[in-house]
A = this chain, B = another copy of it.
């Protein structure tokens, strides 16, 4: 199946670090000198650091370099410019506080693109990028706590259509390892453009979010399956790129290969009421392309910063109203500011909140969530999963 260019451009939002935002500080604001190493630093690394206001301080050693810049922290001018000290180190502080949550970034050292040796790497923008975490006020919901922990399992499943064995990660909830016959619902959860099947565990903490929800009895224990959505062959905005994106290969892998594998190898409730599909950004877009056309496979749908389900979408999918038990749509608040979600490249052409309300008025279980003070980034999606999970697989 190939899609008209207009449809693609209107719906896909790329998960790019360029969208990380800073709030311009008041001119007189003092920067608190309480910087601490970021929680994502590599073992023993002192930098980068974050202060209590959300400012970031970078330090990199490159004694003979002419210029070092960080792709984060200074909206208008392409990043934070570091300055050199006598000891050969380069240091700089973001112009303003960064949004809470996770941000991708990289260094530019004498014109070359490198990662910051101080931090861990995360797959985004089709490469392993540096990551930094600005502590969120609500970080507790994805913290490692003294609760029973599920597992994140790497599987390799045969994919005849792509002539290889493909990787997926499977979250199994606490208690799944009990040698009993209990069966579990399954959420198929997709990453965004530029990312891959590692994103929801590494950047997203999907496993910890579920562990904590289950321990608090706020969500029913279910399995989550995360695989590569084959999204990175096209670059959003490149001429002809998204227009030529074809969902068919991924739909084949997902529906004909991965789902049967999971239902064969895990104790699943293998029917549509107990199988959901959701995704962030381009993964939400893929969800919208696949799930409403396969309502005997999926009984719940989630689009996280990844489009909208309008009444006409429901009308175009026979059985949607009866079969879809949850339609969950979410955005980061910054994505909604100034009408940003409507029109223009990367944004839905109709208002997602109005669509969600229209679905609700039509009697559907439609939920719209907005993550406060976040943009097109992972804290929006962690929070969205936290909001969505308790609503999934509930008896109506």
Contact = CB atoms under 8 A, between A and B. Distances in A.
A371 B267 CA distance: 42
A52 B55 CA distance: 49
Contacts of A127: 42-43, 117
A196 B113 CA distance: 27
Nearest to A201: B154
Contacts of A63: 110-112
A126 B153 CA distance: 25
Interface residues of A, number: 49
A60 B114 CA distance: 10
A156 interface: yes
A154 B152 contact: yes
Interface string A372-385: 00000000000000
Interface in A146-160: 146, 149, 151-158
B144 A111 contact: no
A121 interface: yes
Contact of A65 (B107, B109, B153): B109
Contacts of A155: 149, 151
B126 A146 contact: no
A369 interface: no
Contact of A115 (B65, B66, B115, B265): B115
A197 to B, nearest CB: 12
B111 A110 contact: no
A198 B257 CA distance: 28
29 contacts: A42-B128, A43-B126, A61-B112, A62-B112, A63-B110, A63-B112, A64-B67, A64-B110, A64-B111, A65-B65, A65-B110, A66-B66, A88-B111, A107-B114, A109-B109, A112-B117, A113-B117, A114-B114, A115-B117, A120-B128, A121-B128, A144-B156, A144-B165, A146-B165, A149-B157, A152-B154, A154-B207, A179-B181, A179-B267
Nearest 8 CB-CB pairings of A with B: A62-B112, A63-B111, A64-B110, A149-B156, A65-B110, A114-B114, A64-B111, A153-B153
